[in-house]
Structure formats: structure tokens, C-alpha cells
Structure 1
């Protein structure tokens, strides 16, 4: 798959009805009497236009569910989409204020994802070095400006910045592209350190596309020159548990250099679609037995945090699979 599931447009199609069904008090009431058997530190929250329909009380229920499932932090995937496409949009300040207010009440922190330029995967697939350089310049300038001009870092619940551009070994195999990538990341890192108390986070995953690239070598070169916090997608939702073996060289390198990193635990299962480029990505909530196996790996992985992708919609949703995962998750005694 060329791009990662994290940025797939499937998730924009959630309707108001589907968003609100999962937040019914009756559906969440059992959480109050349970201690979650799997310990998560955080979850991603991927905002779409459909989230604009939610009221403050709806967000209160949602974040309360995150908290009761063990999360202490939320990673906003992005605060909006840009790039000049018809479906570009930005979350209004009122929505982010609501999230920060409720996170503060729940004792949770928020990592703010920068606006995401939707041309990312198209540019990586088709652009030459000069065009890629120009694109990176644009996204760097806009992203750094967002860090420096918005006031989210003044909020008490603010925990840092997240860069919504995922890195894999296929598109960044060549020295020419890496020579563009590293100063681009360094500019974000310096801006993050100037506007927060830490370095920015960015996701990375092992691409199934064949090529000469090495995720371990890519990140070794990045960390030699840039202060940044990698978040490793376990890839189980797309490629199965065997994908953890593909991550071993990266994992071993990070441990050897005592680098801080997170592990993203995928809570979905990709369904056959007949396409190999991610254009018709379909998924459902994973079965608990598989999630339990992921957790057994995760708790001994050496990661700073175990981050769910994502409680919403794969656990908190009104589908049979999500309801089953929630039920088995809360009933389990590990």
C-alpha cells in the first residue's frame, strides 16, 4: 500500500448518527465499573468535518471513555486539511477550545497535529527532486508558522506538537530524498523546541512495497542529525502480526541508541478490496484475541507510550465489531 491508513479519506464518511450512537450513556455506562485490562497511554483522534456536529457534551462523553480505557493523552492527527483540494477544511478554534477544556477536566493532555497537506502521497509518488523540494518548503513554512502563531501551546493541557506526515522506507530510500527530508524535519524540530517543552512526534511504518530502502538506516540517519520522537506503527492492522518482524531492525537500533519512541497499536483489520494502492481501503474493528497478542508484544517493547489507533472509531462505535471489541476488552482479566 502506497500510503498509510492514517491519512485515508474513508474516515471522512462518518455521519453524525454514527458519531453520536457510540456516545449514548447506556453504551458507556459499563466502563465506570471496570478497570481496563490493557494499559494504553494515549489514543489518536482523527478529526473530520463530521466531528463539527458534536456538542460539548458529546466530547465530554468521548474523552471520558478515552480516560476510562486508560488513556492519559490524545494525539490529534491534524487540525485540518490543506493543499488546495475541494475537501480542504480547518477545525474552528471553538472545537479545539472544547477539546482542551474537556481534556483539562479529565486530567488528559493533548498533542496538536499540524495542518496536513493532502498532496503528500501524490507528491512522493510522482514528483521529481525539484518539485519535492518545493513542496517540502511550502509545508515547512506553513507548519512552522502555525506553531509560532497559534496559542494552543499556552493551554495547560498542551503536551507538544505532532507532525502528520508519515515516514516509510520506500519513498525515502534515495540519498537525494533523504538530503531534503532531514533539514525539513530539523526545521520542525527547532520550531517545536522553541514553542513547547519537547521535540515533535512523527509516525513511521514499514511499507510493503518492494525496494532498496531500510527503515532502520533511514531513522539512524535522521536521529544522527535531528531531535525528533518517532512513533512506530505496529502495522498489524494492514499486514498482520508478522509485520512486527519487519520492524525488528528499527526497534533494535532505537533500543541500542537509547532513543525514546512510541508504539502505535492498530485496533483495526484491513479487509480485501482488490486494490493495492490504498485507494479503496476498507477495515473493521479487530478481534480482541489479536489485540491481546499485540499488547503482549507492546508491554515489553521498550516504548515510552503505547498509543491506540484508534479508540474512535474502532472501539467506540456503533458497529457489531466495535461493540464486540469493547465488550471483550472490558470483560477480559489478564
Structure 2
């Protein structure tokens, strides 16, 4: 009996056709970006209205630039009731399915309670205790209930809480951080079989505490995998200098870590004193310098933040970066 292939929907045929086209494109910067294989995808509420085709187009373009894995920074925003949302299962299912079709893997970020920096900036120890307990309870319950670790594209959990030395300069505070991290990490491993990853960066705020000093404690007591943000978005390649002691610590101790390359350039806020993030795509020259450093940095994975929107976005800076990126390997 002959076996007939399943009939494909029109949108599915377009997706597979786009994927085939991407495979024929020259992988941008194959030589200088040999170690760059991942990128972050930052979900916002407006993305919930995207069509499946819109997601497919972005994933195909990302894959064409050499990315084999994505980190979804978070699957939703928790915290204040007016700002709470979660990505529907259909969106996550489609994203995982399409990544699997492209041969890409996915790290899913947990729901993020956006009060993190507000609580850390306060001096109320009880408020910090309550926040850590509440987020641990809700996040671990979400992980246990989530079906995604059973998907063939799933590669692990990402903890969307960034760690720096300024907020954790007090030893008493650090001893609150450790059990909280371990609670999340234990459930992450139990549900996925993988070590949870978390980002860390060097704060420029004045403090006697050091980032490597904090991580000397964490690598002994907490079972998470660090991802170093290179800070180039704010300082350019000069940001690597204050990170050197942390990098040296990880290398000397044999700690597996990843490096996050920022593909944007911070801009002054539109209004003086405004606490808003304003940025544009980095120049190709700066990104190329970051790649050169990353090659010998000792990181396990090199992850861009982020191909979308800073390389495949609609702004002129993104188009210029993408054109230069491709021209360099033409």
C-alpha cells in the first residue's frame, strides 16, 4: 500500500518554504560568529496578538543568522494585578513546534514578577522575605504544572531575575537569596532534568561589594548556571574590564557559564531624569569586537540580546547592522 504524505495547510507550506530558503542563505558572519548560536526573545503583551505566521517569519530569520537555540526571557509578567499577563498555551505550543521544525531548541523563562527591582531597592527585610516566598511558591507551582518539558524542542528553564552585586552586598541578604535560588533550581531540575540558567551583570552603582565575591558564595551554595551579560549596551567593549574577575573565577573553578552579547546601544532618555529604556542597534564594528572577545572567553554558549529587534527589526539601525553583518561574509 503506498504511503501518502499528509496534506499541508497553505500557511504551513509557506513556513516550510521560508525555512528552506533560510537554509540556502549564507549564515551571516559564519567566521566571526562561529560560537554565537543563541538569542533571547523578549515577550511583551503586544506579542500576544501576533499571528502564527508573524512568529514563523521571525524564527526563520533568526535561524538564518545561525541561531540554534532561543531563550524566551519570560512567559508572562506577574506582580501588580493591572499588569499581569501570561502567554497562552497556543502561542508557546506554536513557538516550540516551529523551533523544532527548524531544528532549534528553546529555553523557557518563568513568569516574572516585575516588582523585583522595587523590592530589592527597599530596606524592608520583611518585604523581601515575603516577595521571595511568594515568587518561589507561584513559580514552582507553574513549573510543576507546565507541559513544556515534554516537548522535543524544550531545553531547560530560564530564571528571569537578574543578579548583580549592588543589591546583594549584605551577607544576610545573600543568605536569603541562596535558598530562594535553590528552591527554584531544584524544581527546575526535577521538571526538566536541566540546570536552570540565570543572568548576572556588573552594577555600576557605588558599593564595596564585588560581583565575583557574590558568586564565590553562589557557586558553592546555589545550583544555578550563570549567564554573564557583557554590558556592552551601556558601556561598549569597556564593560568587559569589570567583568574580568568574575570570568576568571568561573574559568579557574571550572564553572559552566554562558556569555550574553548585547546588540544594542543605550541612549539618553527622551526626558531628563526619566526612568525609561531607550536604545538603538549597535554598530557592526562594535558587535564584531564583541565576537572577537567572546571567541576566547571560555563561555559554553554565546547568546545574543537580541537578534530581534536589534538585527531583524524595522528600525534603520537594525537594517544597517544586518546589511553590514551580511556584507562582511558575502
**Contact residue 236 and residue 286 of structure 2 kept, 8 A:** no
Match of 2:28 in 1: 36
Distance 1:318 1:286, change over 3 A: same
- Counterpart CA distance in 1 for 2:224 and 2:156 is 12
Q: Deviations over 1:164-192 (max 9, x none)?
A: 00000000010111010001001111111
Runs of 4 or more, structure 1, over 6 Å off, are 274-278
- Counterpart CA distance in 2 for 1:301 and 1:174 is 29
Tell me if 1:100 matches 2:96: yes
After TM superposition, the structure 1 stretch with the greater mean CA deviation from structure 2, 323-332 or 48-57, is 48-57
**Contact residue 164 and residue 203 of structure 1 kept, 8 A:** yes
Aligned match for 1:53, one of 49, 62, 69: 49
Partner SS, residue 240 of structure 1: helix
TM-score (norm: length of structure 2)? 0.90
> What pairs up with 1:187-206 in 2 under 5 angstroms?
187-206=183-202
**Contact residue 129 and residue 176 of structure 1 kept, 8 A:** no
What stretches of structure 2 of length at least 5 have no aligned partner? 1-14
State the 1:282 CA deviation: 0.7
Tell me if 1:331 matches 2:323: no
Count of aligned pairs: 310
State the 1:107 CA deviation: 0.5
- Counterpart CA distance in 1 for 2:315 and 2:58 is 16
Aligned match for 2:124, one of 116, 122, 128: 128
Tell me if 1:265 matches 2:257: no
TM-score (norm: length of structure 1)? 0.89
Match of 1:169 in 2: 165
Distance 1:148 1:142, change over 3 A: same
Larger radius of gyration: 2
State the 1:217 CA deviation: 0.9
Q: Deviations over 1:106-128 (max 9, x none)?
A: 01111110000010000000141
Aligned match for 1:63, one of 59, 83, 94: 59
Q: Deviations over 1:300-322 (max 9, x none)?
A: 10101100000111011111100
**Contact residue 31 and residue 330 of structure 1 kept, 8 A:** no
Tell me if 1:314 matches 2:314: no
